[in-house]
Amino acid sequence: MEMKWIVLALAALMYVFVVIFPSKKHWISLGAGALVIVIGAVPAAHALLTLINWNILGIYIGSLIIAELFLYSRVPNRLADTIIDSMPNTGSAITAVLVMTGIISAFVENVATVLVMAPIALSVCKKLRITPVYFMTGLAVMANLQGTATLVGDPPSMIFASYAGYGFNDFFVYQGRMSIFFVVQAGMIAGALYFYLYFAKAGKQKIKVERAPVLSLFPTVLLLVMIAALAFCSFFHIEYSGLIVLLLGVGGLLWFYLVRKEGFRKTAVLVKELDWETIGFLIGIFVVIGTISETGLLEDFALFLRGVIGDNKIAGFFVIIFVSVLISGFVDNVPYIIVMLPVAATLAQDMGLKSELYMFALLVGSCMGGNLTPFGASANIAAMGILKKHDCPLSFAGWCKIGVPFTLITTASAALVLWLLWS
């Protein structure tokens, strides 16, 4: 048997085990990556130095640390309280908080965003005597929505940047056209309108809240410096953005330990509770999918899709979005995105299109498809857990009642803008 088929079989087996045992996905991914090296499909040095994108991992780890410190500072809570206090009525206040949740999630990990905003949502719902189901679900889906809006949003956006050679600024404007950030915002506006129409029924009264105290503005400054550094590196094509963000994160930890005097134990807990599972998962995935890519299997699959779709670029566009939404609604979208990015790019190029059209379609479908079911994203599971803890359990059907129309509306809006910009 040819080595490429052995690697493909190994990757398929890895995918199956990730779906069956999602809590062990990092060990499964790392094990598969190690096995690819052991069987001689790829040299260890090549896997470690070339296939694993250490720059992206540096950005991810550094941004995770800065995000944790940002949440620790209570600035997001203060922002939410200020927004609620400035809104004229209930519908506007809740919708504004949901929009703010999405904006924060463009720079902070989704689950962390939901966890920090949940107490605000529960408090507002208690005052209004309404069920927190829609508000909590709204927090999760709006956080997921912004996952691919920026380079530091979620792993899928970092994977895309690694493959396409995108810098931080390219997510906003690329080749003189509005890029993926603005495509995602079209979905966000549609999603905000969807929730506003629901919460407008909650009443016309103004919500009164006590503004949360801010512990420190330093993490906010650190976050802004990180964004500026990424923009600078992107503009001047500096390849060490991962190292810079990682050093900023380490600087934040030193501030937490020395200036805030939180002690070694709390600092160690903060580091320990970072998303190391996703980091390990990405390392293994980089090796496995990188090896598959070098065998030529992905190009073969792109040719197969071209034969099925033909020269109908609209059909190709909608097939990619539909399949991405469907798959991401039930399984982790990271391995799917890594496999399909080169396929989507090759397919678009073979049809004489800009590769961004199909790659962005893949990102939009995968990102927004995570809102389809309660299992589509970690933020959804976190929201479900919080609702259950507060005696408001939400069933699979109950989630889909909110998630399905939200996904359809946001995906359709983003897809329309994407087509107009890049077709």
Domain ranges of the chain: 3-422
Q: How far is CA 167 from the centre of its chain?
A: 17
Give the predicted TM-score (pTM) of the model.
0.80
pLDDT at 35: 95
pLDDT by residue, tens only, the chain of 423 residues: 588 889 889 988 988 888 788 788 889 999 999 999 999 999 999 999 988 989 888 888 988 899 889 889 988 888 878 877 788 787 888 888 899 889 888 877 787 788 778 878 887 787 777 888 889 999 999 988 887 888 877 788 888 988 888 988 999 999 999 999 999 999 999 999 999 988 887 666 666 767 778 999 999 999 889 888 888 887 777 878 889 999 999 999 999 999 999 999 999 999 998 889 888 988 998 898 888 878 777 777 777 777 777 778 898 899 899 988 988 887 777 777 888 888 888 888 888 889 999 999 999 998 899 899 887 887 888 888 888 888 888 888 888 999 999 999 999 999 999 999 998
In 3D, which of 324, 224, 236, 338 has the Cα closest to residue 291?
338
pLDDT at 266: 95
In 3D, which of 316, 271, 292 has the Cα closest to residue 422?
316
DSSP state of 74: T
CA distance between the termini of the chain: 41
pLDDT at 152: 79
Distance in angstroms (rounded) separating the CA atoms of residues 134 and 68: 26
DSSP sequence for 378-421: HHHHHHHHHHHHTT----HHHHHHHHHHHHHHHHHHHHHHHHHH
In 3D, which of 22, 301, 34, 53 has the Cα closest to residue 155?
53
In 3D, which of 377, 417, 340 has the Cα closest to residue 181?
417
Say if CB 112 and CB 71 are below 8 A apart: yes
Say if CB 54 and CB 240 are below 8 A apart: no
pLDDT at 420: 95
Does the CA dihedral 187-402-64-275 come out positive or negative?
negative
Cα–Cα distances (Å) from 154 to 325, 366, 379, in that order, read 17, 12, 12
By three-state DSSP, how is residue 177 classified?
Answer: strand
Q: What angle do CA 81, 85, 90 make, to 5 degrees?
A: 105
Given phi > 0 = left and psi -120 to 50 = alpha, else beta, which region is 150?
A: beta
DSSP alpha helix (H) spans, 132-262: 133-145, 155-164, 180-199, 218-235, 241-254
Does the CA dihedral 239-249-157-151 come out positive or negative?
negative
